[in-house]
């Protein structure tokens, strides 16, 4: 019986709003804590204790408790669990154990991990994850390049089970995007470009600018369906 601790922020059922599986129902397991501090972060309540109360935002449980929570919240017809954050790969041992325990009861469920790509996945975790959605941050995040771009970590994600999802503000970001994609070794067919923002009107305007550039350079484009539907409401 494992007692590895897992720091959680929230858990909810919604639809995946971004990337290759947009529109698919999923259980979101949002972990607490992050090793970056992006200026535009829309989940700062997972790490910014100057603005949010850690005692209210972080629930620490052992993996057995977390597994029971996941199984109780996961509808029978939903077969996707998304481990997001914060930065989930700060808690790799706990997540490896969690996936194993959940899949003992629900072998039909697959797990995806959303990560900033600064930590390489362990072999044990990598073997259990169906898809890594890796989001390296660009300069507009306000973080130094050395902290946010780690080529060794980015190249450690398994080919064929990893995609890049890069937040873009405008066309001026594409030069840096090309550099990051080349450093990661990802094929452009596995790169999704996503407009930054939590306001539906702003997202629409930015999407209109990004689509022609994605067509020109061979990238895929993703919206933020949950933002279009619910704005920045939590738990959606």
Q: Is residue 214 part of a domain?
A: no
- Residues forming beta bridges with residue 132, ordered by sequence position: 113, 162
Q: Is 41 annotated as belonging to a binding site?
A: yes
Average pLDDT value over all residues in the chain: 93
Q: What is the pTM of this model?
A: 0.94
Sheet with 25-31: strands ordered across = 59-62, 5-15, 25-31, 80-84, 110-115, 131-134, 162-168, 191-195, 220-221
Q: Is 148 annotated as belonging to a binding site?
A: no
| Backbone angles phi and psi of 4, in degrees to 5 | -60, 130
Q: Which residues form the domain of 147?
A: 3-164
Q: Is 43 annotated as belonging to a binding site?
A: yes
Instruction: Indicate which CATH number applies to the domain containing 93.
Output: 3.20.20.70
Q: Is 34 annotated as belonging to a binding site?
A: yes
Q: Which secondary structure element, helix H or strand E, spans residue 178, and what is its range?
A: helix 174-184
pLDDT for residue 170:
85
pLDDT for residue 234:
83
Residue indicated by tokens 């362990």: 122
Task: For residue 169, give the DSSP letter.
Answer: S
Q: Is 136 annotated as belonging to a binding site?
A: yes
Q: Is residue 178 part of a domain?
A: no
Domain count, the chain: 1
Q: Is 197 annotated as belonging to a binding site?
A: no
Q: Which residue has the higher pLDDT, 1 or 86?
A: 86
Q: Is 30 annotated as belonging to a binding site?
A: yes
Condensed to tens digits (0 to 9), the pLDDT of residues 50-103 reads 999 999 999 999 999 999 999 999 999 999 999 999 999 999 999 999 999 999
Q: Is 96 annotated as belonging to a binding site?
A: no
Q: Is residue 74 part of a domain?
A: yes
CA dihedral of 116, 121, 127, 132, whole degrees rounded to 10: 10
Q: Is residue 218 part of a domain?
A: no
Q: Is 42 annotated as belonging to a binding site?
A: yes
Q: Is residue 75 part of a domain?
A: yes
Q: Is residue 213 part of a domain?
A: no
Q: Is 160 annotated as belonging to a binding site?
A: no
Cβ–Cβ under 8 Å, residues 94 and 4: yes
Specify the 3-state DSSP secondary structure of 131: strand
Q: Is residue 59 part of a domain?
A: yes
Q: Is 40 annotated as belonging to a binding site?
A: yes
Q: Is residue 236 part of a domain?
A: no
| Backbone angles phi and psi of 73, in degrees to 5 | -90, -20
């Amino acid at each position: 019986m494992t007692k590895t601790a897992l720091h959680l922020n929230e858990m909810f059922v919604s639809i995946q709003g971004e990337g290759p599986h947009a529109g698919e129902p999923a259980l979101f397991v949002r972990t607490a804590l992050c090793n970056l501090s992006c200026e535009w972060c829309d989940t700062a309540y997972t790490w910014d204790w100057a603005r949010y109360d850690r005692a209210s935002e972080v629930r620490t449980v052992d993996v057995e408790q977390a597994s029971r929570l996941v199984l109780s919240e996961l509808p029978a017809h939903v077969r996707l669990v998304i481990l997001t954050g914060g930065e989930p790969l700060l808690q790799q041992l706990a997540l490896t154990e969690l996936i194993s325990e959940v899949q003992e009861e629900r072998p039909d469920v697959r797990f995806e991990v959303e990560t900033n790509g600064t930590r390489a996945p362990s072999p044990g975790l990598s073997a259990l994850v169906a898809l890594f959605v890796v989001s390296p941050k660009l300069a507009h995040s306000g973080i130094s390049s050395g902290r946010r771009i780690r080529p060794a970590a980015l190249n450690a994600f398994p080919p064929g089970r990893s995609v890049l999802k890069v937040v873009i503000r405008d066309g001026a970001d594409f030069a840096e995007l090309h550099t990051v994609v080349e450093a990661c070794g990802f094929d452009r067919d596995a790169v999704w470009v996503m407009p930054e923002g939590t306001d539906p009107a702003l997202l629409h305007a930015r999407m209109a600018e990004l689509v022609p550039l994605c067509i020109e350079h061979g990238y895929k484009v993703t919206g933020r369906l949950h933002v279009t539907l619910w704005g920045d409401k939590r738990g959606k």
